[in-house]
Amino acid sequence: MTPRLWALVTFGVLLVALVVFAALTVPWHRAPAPRADQVAALGQFPPDQVAKARQFRSELRPATYASMVLGLVVALVLGLTPIGARLVELAGRPFGDHWLARAVLGGLLVVLAGELLTLPFSAWRHTIVARYGISTQSWGGWGADLLKSFGVAVVLGGLALAGFFAITHFAPRWWWAFGAAGAAGLVVLLSFVLPVVVEPIFNKFTPMADGPLRTELIALADRDGVPVKDVLVADASRRTRAVNAYVSGLGPTRRIVVYDTMLTEATPDEIVSVAAHELGHAKDGDVLTGTILGALGAALAVVAIYLLGAWTGLLRLAGVDSIGEPRAIALLLAVAALAGLAAGPGQAFVSRRIEARADRHALDLTGDPLTFEAMQRRLGSVNLSDPDPPTWEFLMFASHPSTVQRMAAARAYGRGER
């Protein structure tokens, strides 16, 4: 068979594998949280607090959605016209138009163009978050985090671009096969590396002091059969008042992380309730599931890109001869932006199902629906979340059940509706 036929077969196999694995691992069905309980839960919030949260979210929307639209427009203009290809050429010219310079510097230049154009909207969002007291960062701190994020993106993106286009350069007929394997491997590697290498760039982590809370969290993990390496406290208060906790890492790198803001805002029982939810993700292998789905999706995307390269009209729009050449970077990013937009609601739906299962795990592990409900109310209050957001926005973007849905589920659980 020709490489193209092999690619078509591989695409089909990967697609079937992705669908089957998702069908077996994602909790597609869950009992709906009774709407009457949701309405009752909403009544637990002071009206002025709900109004403030909704006003906060309303003020954030113009900057958020304008940034999304502008980012998409920039990606399409650069990718579906020769402008992107010319930017890549411009970046490679001082280095003799070497393919590696075009791949790395050209790719970063294309990405930087979009980042710079949407930067004012990020600054606009920061002013709103700071005005409502969620952010505790000065402009200097905000700028430092922005530079750190860009630095991490430069390193990871540069390595990915160099690797991908090295494969297309040295294996022009079979690059899709090597690239798919490399993309899948990179997703798996980053699942292990990011928690221990990248997270400390943005936060300082210190072991939680010995005491009843640390002891209870370790005991909770042991009782759940999810051993953790340590319990850490993140210095989140230097940038936000928001409260959170999570379980990070896989296997030997797994640890419970608690925001220092949560230690001051929440009760110990509420912290245990959040930790129980996060342990549910580890218990059910959600990180591993996400990693495998991501690896299959990344491999599928590389093969799809190769097959897309047969669409000569698309290549003509972008002003490139092959989708595997560095000059096509902007085209690849435009395709990725459209694919991300189309897949977003589906990914949010899957995420909500997984988060609802983790909620149920927390209730089973602690047997304390009252504390779970109190913690959800506190999370929504401190983080200024809309407890019952607009349906369209919820379906499009929400990665978690709404606050009132989670509170209603706890009430149903307390009545024995399991």
Annotated binding site: 277, 281, 355
Q: Is the dihedral of CA 378, 26, 190, 88 positive or negative?
A: negative
Q: Which of 224, 265, 325, 359 is catalytic?
A: 359
What domain count does the chain have?
A: 1
Give the model's pLDDT for residue 125.
96
Global pTM reads 0.90
Average pLDDT over residues 374-392: 91
Range of the domain at 353: 3-414
d(CA 90, CA 109): 9
pLDDT > 70 fraction of the chain, expressed in percent and rounded: 98
d(CA 10, CA 181): 11
Give the model's pLDDT for residue 389.
94
248's enclosing H/E stretch is strand 245-248
Q: In 10 A of CB 343, how many CB atoms?
A: 11
**312 pLDDT more than 70:** yes
Q: Rounded to 10 degrees, what is the CA torsion of 176, 181, 182, 184? A: 120
The pLDDT mean for the chain works out to: 91
* Alpha helices for 254-368 (secondary structure H): 260-265, 268-283, 286-308, 312-318, 329-366
**406 pLDDT more than 80:** yes
d(CA 140, CA 136): 11
Interval 147-183: pLDDT, tens? 999 999 999 999 999 999 999 999 998 999 999 999 9
- Indicate the pLDDT class of residue 418, thresholds 50, 70 and 90: low
Average pLDDT over residues 81-104: 95
**Is residue 418 exposed (0-12), middle (13-18) or buried (19+ Cβ within 10 Å)?**
exposed
Annotated binding site for Zn(2+): 277, 281, 355
Identify whether 278 is a catalytic site residue.
Answer: yes
Q: Which of 37, 224, 270, 278 is catalytic?
A: 278
- Indicate the pLDDT class of residue 227, thresholds 50, 70 and 90: confident
